[in-house]
Amino acid sequence: MWALGTVRTTGVRAGFAAALALPLLLSACSRGGGETSAPWLTMPSQDQHADRYFPFGPGTTHTDATCDDCHGGFDTFARFECRTCHSDQTQLGGIHSGMVGYRFESAACYTCHTDGTAAGIDHTGFFRIGAGSQHATAQCADCHVSPASRSVLGCAGCHPHTSATTATEHARVPDFAFDSAACVRCHADSQVDTVAGHLPFRVDSGPHQGLEGGACLECHPAAQQTRPWAADFAVKDCLGCHTKPVTDPIHVSTGSYAWTTAACLGCHDDGSSVDHVNLFPIALGSAHEAATCSECHTNTTDRTVLGCAGCHPHTAVTSATQHALVGGYSFASPACVRCHAESQVNTLAVHLPFVITGGDHSGNDGGRCLMCHPAMRADRAWAADFAVVDCLGCHGRTETDNEHVGETGYAYLTSECLRCHPAGRSD
């Protein structure tokens, strides 16, 4: 009797436990779940379901979907049915017209619509296939070659390339790989970037010619936030190659220097080293050897903006006095470097035998520097070329021809003017 009583007691306890557990199971399986509900046993919460399988509930395409809508016809949640709601085969066939691989089957639905979007695959945020794009006529199966995973691509299936020809086309791209994932990483918008499109930073000349040591994805290592499989070419990185221990000593006297990509491109916007030998002398022994970059280049975003007056002890008044014999003078940095492109100060003695301190070309009387020397240098477009002289800008042809009537060998040329008038005098 004792043993039988024990058995009966155990059975009662088991039945009582089952009765208590039933509401918990129902709660765990209830639609919604959430963090405050009982731990799920046979079904995840909405959040868990979205993370692992398919989003449903408020704010999703399947707002009113219930468990039974998708899983009610089966004895396991591993199976599902889309056609409970999406039952119009004719309508769906029309929507998917031309889509290779389309089938009116739930498994096929889920292959392409893993996030549950009912309006179709919106490629806007992925890869351009809309009207007018280069891939407007492409079929789904042309690119998505694996029915099991839409992330598996087959670019080479349509593009008439082989590994050899594509490698030739990408000869200047050291990190090139004949792989579809590599294709879309660099051509995420179906674009083919040109050398001209890379300007002002040059990859066809200078230190980065042929991308030697500067592979595309080394200079542009970041991925797009919305498309992590695609390179973000708007993000640049100079520091991957130009390390701080090497770069810091080179810029030890550069006042505005900072080891940042933005600072690098601020001074090296074309990718070249700043070689002042062919710009403006700042080397040892020159008048500006002690100058720092920021003293001359006062605008951090535009290195062509200069501030000569910041260092030179001149004011508009004193500088004007020093240039009293220079017609066309102005107190402005572009005017300074136009006439002093080598940091030189031309003396009156240098100007001989042509005299500008007396006679017809004395002072400002028709003898403005840039009227006699109007040409710009070929190597520095911002600097006057004082080796080029022009007499004809002031001395008109009619007047000059009349003055030389009957003179053998006369020609209306600057070279002929200076041949007969090397000192600039009319006598």
Domain range for 109 is: 46-91+101-119
53 domain residue, yes or no: yes
Confidence (pLDDT) at 69? 87
Confidence (pLDDT) at 395? 92
Confidence (pLDDT) at 122? 63
Confidence (pLDDT) at 31? 45
The secondary structure of residue 276, as a DSSP letter, is G
290 domain residue, yes or no: no
212 domain residue, yes or no: yes
SS3 breakdown of the chain: % helix, strand, coil, rounded to 5?
A: 35, 0, 60
CB 347 within 8 A of CB 323: no
CB 389 within 8 A of CB 373: yes
The mean pLDDT value for 312-320 works out to 76
> Alpha carbon of 335 to those of 63, 107, 233, 299, 415: distances in Å?
71, 75, 39, 17, 27
Confidence (pLDDT) at 380? 85
Domain count along the chain:
2
Look at residue 23 and tell me whether its pLDDT is greater than 70. no
User: What digits encode the pLDDT tens for the residues 137-164?
Assistant: 877 778 888 766 777 888 888 876 677 7
CB 417 within 8 A of CB 391: yes
The mean pLDDT value for 187-211 works out to 79
Higher pLDDT: 34 or 87? It is 87
Residue that is written with structure tokens 């199971």 in the block: 25
Distance CA 397, CA 401 (A): 6
- Let me know whether 149 and 70 are in one domain: no
374 domain residue, yes or no: no
CB 346 within 8 A of CB 386: yes
* Mean predicted lDDT score pLDDT of the chain: 78
Can you read off the two tokens belonging to residue 253?
A: 């006297």
The top-scoring range by mean pLDDT among 123-127, 319-323, 421-425 is 421-425
> Alpha carbon of 310 to those of 58, 294, 298, 303: distances in Å?
65, 10, 9, 15
Q: Which of 183, 213, 237 is the last residue of a domain?
A: 237
Confidence of residue 314 (pLDDT cuts 50, 70, 90): low
The mean pLDDT value for 101-126 works out to 73
207 domain residue, yes or no: yes
Exposed, middle or buried by CB within 10 Å (0-12, 13-18, 19+), for 143?
Answer: buried
Can you read off the two tokens belonging to residue 34?
A: 């959430």
317 domain residue, yes or no: no
131 domain residue, yes or no: no
Give the angle subtended at the CA of 116 by the CAs of 69 and 88, to the nearest 5°.
60
The mean pLDDT value for 288-307 works out to 80
Confidence (pLDDT) at 397? 94
Look at residue 19 and tell me whether its pLDDT is greater than 50. no
Backbone φ, ψ for residue 33 (5° rounding): 60, -115
User: What digits encode the pLDDT tens for the residues 354-407?
Assistant: 988 777 787 644 447 888 899 999 888 889 999 999 999 889 999 999 999 988
The secondary structure of residue 424, as a DSSP letter, is S
Q: Which of 237, 267, 284 is the last residue of a domain?
A: 237
164 domain residue, yes or no: yes
